[in-house]
Amino acid sequence: MVLNDIVRKVECNFNEILQTASKMIKIPSRNPPGEEKRCAEYIHSKLKELGYETYFVNEPFIDRPQVVALLKGKSSDTILLNGHIDTVPEGDANSWIMDPFSGEIKDGFLYGRGAVDMKSSLSIMMHVAKFVETNGTILLAFAVGEERAEPGTSTLLSWIKKFNLKIKYGLVMEPTGLQVATHQRGAVWLKIRIKGRATHASTPNEGINAIEIAHNIMYIIQEYKKQITKKSHKFTDTPTCSVTMINAGIKENVIPDRCEIVLDRRLVPGETKNEVTKELRLLFDKKKLNCEITQLGSRKPVELSNNSVLPRTILDVMDQMNIQSSTICFTGATDNEHIFSNSIESLVWGPGDLSFAHSVDERISINDMKNAAIALGLVVNKLLE
């Protein structure tokens, strides 16, 4: 199938793609609290209408259905297209130039919470059946809970095993401005708990001030931050370590007996959460700073070779369309972590500017959407011909 055929098909269907995205924006799916259900129901009914074999997956949350859809080809060679239904909340609606759930189109942009992250991509994925002709199988996975790192996509990956498909490629269609994110940093969130001994603040020497110990710990963290930025990786940003929360003290005249510090430590490929926890443990022990470190949560880094078939195919297509694109590292965490760790050749690639995500006046360029639909059609055709 040549470029012109796909361009024509996308042109014919583009209004429907746009309307479907707009309709999804009009159905809020904020997380928290995790209100994806109504939007999932809409996606399910739309997919049925489009001719897919469509399923609700009432796992891992009974009241937050996920959606899976299959377009079976002659071959079980499969591409998995993944996206999340949930969005972050809209924040203060009064600071938006329009209702965050209007799904309105203005000056070449589609507006609203979820416009770029990532209901436009969901709509493009849903309509891909209309502009591909392939022997392979297309599997769509619409996950819940991505915005709070809940086990949406990871549950779907286990659930779809029953189909016995040969999933060769995976695309997570988060906004990358159509850059090809073969790499992704991981993260670990650590809580450092410092114990002191409370006493009256008029006799501080009788107690142990947990905030003063925390002060020394913070000093070590500042030094550690400088050290780890030297640990650069060929294709990703450097590791980072940021203090993101601190909590201590109960009253102005009491020496605090506890202090908690929370760290956000971003990992580059090759680093593990346990290794970095140990690194910090050793630094604190060396200075005899008594504290307890616990891991609150984590995301694994992803590293797909830039020479793999999937990134090369996408870059060829981008080239054919005269769109500037190259391989990049996605700075945040995405569900690709789970797909990649299921031994699927996968990456993150989708339309729109990531800086509009989670922001006031979230929007996506309609032109970006159209290019993404054309490019996705070409990519799927090439990969599964």
Which residues contribute to the site for Zn ion (CB under 5 A)? 117-118, 174
Rounded least distance, CB 174 to Zn ion, Å:
5
Residue 332 CB coordination number (10 Å): 15
β-strand pairing of 292-299 with 186-195: antiparallel
Question: Is the CB of 134 or the CB of 184 nearer to Zn ion?
Answer: 184
Token representation of residue 169: 């490629």
Which one, of 10, 42, 12, 20, lies nearest residue 128 by Cα? 10
Rounded least distance, CB 178 to Zn ion, Å:
15
Question: Is the CB of 121 or the CB of 381 nearer to Zn ion?
Answer: 121
Question: Is the CB of 36 or the CB of 117 nearer to Zn ion?
Answer: 117
Rounded least distance, CB 262 to Zn ion, Å:
23
Question: Is the CB of 118 or the CB of 276 nearer to Zn ion?
Answer: 118
Rounded least distance, CB 200 to Zn ion, Å:
50
Question: Is the CB of 79 or the CB of 357 nearer to Zn ion?
Answer: 357
CB-based contact 309:345 (threshold 8 Å) = yes
Rounded distance between C-alpha atoms, residue 37 and residue 35, angstroms: 6
Rounded least distance, CB 119 to Zn ion, Å:
10
Question: Is the CB of 131 or the CB of 340 nearer to Zn ion?
Answer: 340
Rounded least distance, CB 122 to Zn ion, Å:
10
Rounded least distance, CB 245 to Zn ion, Å:
23
Q: Residue of minimal CB distance from Zn ion?
A: 117
Question: Is the CB of 117 or the CB of 271 nearer to Zn ion?
Answer: 117
Question: Is the CB of 119 or the CB of 300 nearer to Zn ion?
Answer: 119
Question: Is the CB of 42 or the CB of 330 nearer to Zn ion?
Answer: 330
β-strand pairing of 137-143 with 77-84: parallel
Rounded least distance, CB 58 to Zn ion, Å:
22
Rounded distance between C-alpha atoms, residue 106 and residue 93, angstroms: 18
Question: Is the CB of 35 or the CB of 174 nearer to Zn ion?
Answer: 174
Rounded least distance, CB 362 to Zn ion, Å:
11
Rounded distance between C-alpha atoms, residue 106 and residue 116, angstroms: 15
Rounded distance between C-alpha atoms, residue 156 and residue 144, angstroms: 10
Which one, of 120, 159, 169, lies nearest residue 312 by Cα? 169
Rounded least distance, CB 133 to Zn ion, Å:
30
